[in-house]
Amino acid sequence: MSSKILKFTLNGEPVEIAVSPEDMLVDVLRDKLELTGTKKGCGKGECGACTIIMDGEAVNSCLVPAMKAMSASVETIEGIGGPGKFHPVQETFMDLGAIQCGFCTPGMIMSSKALLDKTTSPTSQEIKKALAGNICRCTGYVKIEEAVMAAAEKMREKQ
Amino acid sequence: MLQDYLFPETISEAVSFLKSNEGQARIIAGGTDLLLDIPEGKIKTSCLVDITRIPELSKITLEDGVISIGAAVTHNQAANSELIQEKAAALAQAASCVGSYQIRNSATVIGNVCNAQPAADTAVALVALGAVAEIANPGGTEYVPVEKMYAGVGKSTIDSASQLVTRVSFPAAQKKQGTAFVRLHQRKALALPMLNVAAMVALEGGKFLWARIAMAPVGPGPVRALSAEEILKGAEVTPEVIEKAAQSALEQANPRSSALRGSKEYRTSVLPVLVRRALEQAVANAGSSCK
């Protein structure tokens, strides 16, 4: 199998890595770059657990060939915040209990962040539309929507 | 087994990559359908030719009253385009119904057409809009109406191992013309349509000059409701006329029973309702109302 050198920006840092033309971005992130925050659920673009942000847009990394990341800027859950300095939407998911088992959470947060990067005054409808591709099988979606609303408010206060 | 992944910079380079690989290479745009078909063995290819970085294919343009959408334009780009919302509302509505937000950020409108599913939402809208596809072949350029791009269920007339659809074009809605798209589905996201209908109408002096109606899945691809179109031509814009046209849409419709998305009987009962709604909304979009 021929391997290719993939160069892209991952969470603000330049990355260079050998990939196969067959590799999906989710597998490269998880298995080669050991960023396992991005989850692989269905592998078919139905569940949204693998959502990342590529060049500003939320996409399913299980349906993105790794080669499509060439020269692109990719953000994963690890890049948007963590212990010590959480992103507002990570904080509100924790504060408001918008988490149960947690498997869908990284994808939910990445879809939410992509929305909040475009607007910090989203309507309930806009949140639902942005998150409709992210499936949660435990908590339901009410607290998740509330957490995104609360994060938007936090971000507006900081502006 | 995939051996290579190429990024051509021009349309002619893309076509020559296909040609030099003699059927072993294939076009990829968003890839959201293709990348499910390859692991399942439905499509065999050793090289993907990614067209999303060819600059001219990313454009939505309006020139001399004709709107063109390039092959790399995603569903979200089409749905969020003010030009499309204003001059081709049916397409904006259809594009916003496909998959999920993430899918719509990757998946392209032209990919939706080339994948040739019977009820591909944007194909239904494009047929109602009278769209024509521009196709780059090794031997030159060819133009084919979107309506003629279905060779069967899930089968496109386009061979993505040798040719490339570069754009689809259709006339922008003029004054007193309106378009609409309606869709029946079990969920608001990640659900294939149980039925979808798109309509374009041209009005003058309280009458329909003409109408174009596409409906699916009632055949291998979007099907024109020709009887309804005939009834509307020259007729008064009234609820009675619209109802009569809507009922006649069944003459061209042959829905199949789906275990998941409605029986033949159910779809047959509901189709006229959707055609009526599509026509009412297209009339409203044209800035008029049913008297």
Is the pLDDT confidence value at B1 over 90?
no
Residue B291 is predicted with a pLDDT of 56
Judge contact between B185 and B173, C-beta under 8 A: no
Centroid of chain to Cα B21: 29
Which domains, from first to last, does chain A contain?
A: 4-79 (3.10.20.30), 81-158 (1.10.150.120)
Cβ–Cβ below 8 Å for B101 and A44: no
The per-residue pLDDT for range A37-77, each reduced to its tens digit, is 999 999 999 999 999 999 999 999 999 999 999 999 999 99
Closest CA to B77 of B127, B49, B112: B112
Judge contact between B24 and B3, C-beta under 8 A: no
State the Cα torsion B262-B268-B270-B276 to the nearest 10°: 140
Cβ–Cβ below 8 Å for A4 and B100: no
H or E segment and range at residue B127? helix B121-128
Residue B123 is predicted with a pLDDT of 98
Within 8 A of B5 by CB-CB distance, chain A residues are 4, 21, 65, 67
0.90 surpassed by complex ipTM: yes
Residue A140 is predicted with a pLDDT of 82
Cβ–Cβ below 8 Å for B106 and A4: no
Chain B residue whose CA is closest to A49: B102
Residue A10 is predicted with a pLDDT of 98
Closest CB to A45: pick one of B50, B76, B103.
B103
Pairing of strands B150-152, B140-145: unpaired
Within 8 A of B105 by CB-CB distance, chain A residues are 57-59
The per-residue pLDDT for range B71-82, each reduced to its tens digit, is 999 999 999 999
Within 8 A of B188 by CB-CB distance, chain A residues are 132
Q: Reduce the DSSP state of residue B133 to 3 states and report it.
A: strand
The per-residue pLDDT for range B23-34, each reduced to its tens digit, is 999 999 999 999
For residue B190, which phi and psi values (nearest 5 degrees)?
50, 40
Adjacent-strand bridge partners of B137:
B140
Nearest CA to CA, how far is A19 from chain B (Å)? 11
Residue A2 is predicted with a pLDDT of 81
The per-residue pLDDT for range B120-152, each reduced to its tens digit, is 999 999 999 999 999 999 999 999 999 999 999
The whole-chain average pLDDT of chain B stands at 96
Phi-psi region of B7 (alpha: psi -120 to 50; beta: other; left: phi over 0): beta
Cβ–Cβ below 8 Å for A63 and B103: yes
Is the pLDDT confidence value at B206 over 80?
yes
Q: Does A80 touch chain B (CB under 8 A)?
A: no
H or E segment and range at residue B117? none
Residue B290 is predicted with a pLDDT of 63
Residue A139 is predicted with a pLDDT of 75
CA angle A44/A112/A150 to nearest 5° reads: 150
In 10 A of CB B260, how many CB atoms? Answer: 8
The per-residue pLDDT for range B229-247, each reduced to its tens digit, is 999 999 999 999 999 999 9
Residue A1 is predicted with a pLDDT of 57
H or E segment and range at residue A125? helix A124-131
Pairing of strands B47-50, B4-6: parallel
Mutation for testing the A interface, residue in B38, B101, B106 having most A CBs under 10 Å? B101
Give the DSSP letter string of A37-69: TS--SSSSSSS-TTEEEETTEEEEGGGSBGGGG
Within 8 A of B189 by CB-CB distance, chain A residues are 129, 132-133
The per-residue pLDDT for range B89-100, each reduced to its tens digit, is 999 999 999 999
In 10 A of CB B267, how many CB atoms? Answer: 22
Provide the token pair at A91. 């904080």
Residue B55 is predicted with a pLDDT of 97
Within 8 A of B102 by CB-CB distance, chain A residues are 45, 48, 51, 58-60, 111, 133
What is the Cα–Cα distance from B162 to B160, expressed in whole angstroms?
5
Cβ–Cβ below 8 Å for B101 and A130: yes
Which residue positions in chain A have pLDDT lower than 50?
none
The per-residue pLDDT for range B29-69, each reduced to its tens digit, is 999 999 999 999 999 999 999 999 999 999 999 999 999 99
Which domains, from first to last, does chain B contain?
A: 4-171 (3.30.465.10), 177-285 (3.30.390.50)
Across the range B16-27, mean pLDDT stands at 96
